Amino acid sequence: MGHPTNLTFGISTVPTTQPLGNYPLPDPFHTSSNSNLDVFTYSNDFVDLGNAASRTITGGAGFALADGLGGIGVLTPAGATTACAVYRTAAAFQFIAGNSFWFLQRVKYSAVGTGITGYFGMIKTGAATTDSLLFTLAATGVISLVSTVGSVATTLVSTVVTATSNGWLDLAFYFNGTDILVYSSDALVGRVTAPTIGASGTTLTNAILTPITQITPAATETVTLDYALIAQELTR
């Protein structure tokens, strides 16, 4: 690591005429020079589980912290072939044309192969399958980016990366307000140009969404979460 830049007076991201203009740290809610345009962020490094009421676990699974450098959480299914998921109970994100949306998550499935599937990303009201944008794991290990609107699924990027057993996946998408850029380990691997947002049958849903991680095991497979970050611009 190189030497940091020492900003001894701090750094501000808003004009001096605004309430936080002389606050020595970046405004945690607003973007610079855009009146009423906020940035809303959820991040979790899984060093603690926080408020249990803020998440829902389905399929009788267990979700717990485990030893791991940097913090990890492990989702353990209740039994073979039993689909399970962990998600934030309250949905709070939405794709809005013209506004940026960021999603990054690092996960690993303990095995890939016949009978093992899963997904992670953003979904409507937790476990619902009507509206979502998800990285999906096929039994072959292929990870795709799949959009679902009004229960109609569309594969946006057919092969983002191929997963391996117990191998970390560091995947992200960035909606710049116009296009979706898709990344694997910080490398750009796909671009979806000008998706339509808003009505059933379009490319992206305008439903309120929440982050989710899911696995359907063949036997005793698990999914481990290292970190997640979801953020978006919104007017309020």
Q: What does the alpha-carbon distance between residue 76 and residue 59 come to, in Å, rounded to a whole number?
A: 10
Predicted local confidence at residue 129, as pLDDT: 83
In sequence order, the β-bridge partners of residue 171 are 105, 184
- Which pTM value belongs to this model? 0.93
Cα–Cα distance measured from residue 61 to residue 118, given in angstroms and rounded to the nearest whole number = 14
Instruction: Give me the domains of the chain, ranges plus CATH numbers.
Output: 1-33 (no CATH), 37-235 (2.60.120.200)
Give the mean model confidence (pLDDT) for residues 116-134: 92
Stronger pLDDT, 37 or 112, i.e. the higher one = 112
Query: Which distant-in-sequence residues (6+ apart) come within 8 Å of 152 by Cβ?
Result: 200, 201
Residue 236 scores a pLDDT above 90 = no
Q: Is the dihedral of CA 131, 208, 73, 100 positive or negative?
A: positive
Smallest Cα–Cα separation from 80: which of 63, 61, 65?
61
pLDDT of 127 strictly over 80: no
49-106 tens-digit pLDDT: 777 778 999 999 999 999 999 999 999 999 999 999 999 999 999 999 999 999 999 9
- Structure tokens given for 108: 């690993």
pLDDT bucket at 20, cuts 50 / 70 / 90: confident
Summarised one tens digit per residue, pLDDT across range 196-235 is 998 777 899 999 999 999 999 999 999 999 999 999 998 8
Contacts of 32 (CB under 8 A, 6+ apart): 13, 14, 15
pLDDT digits (tens, 9 = 90+) for 167-193: 999 999 999 999 999 999 999 999 999
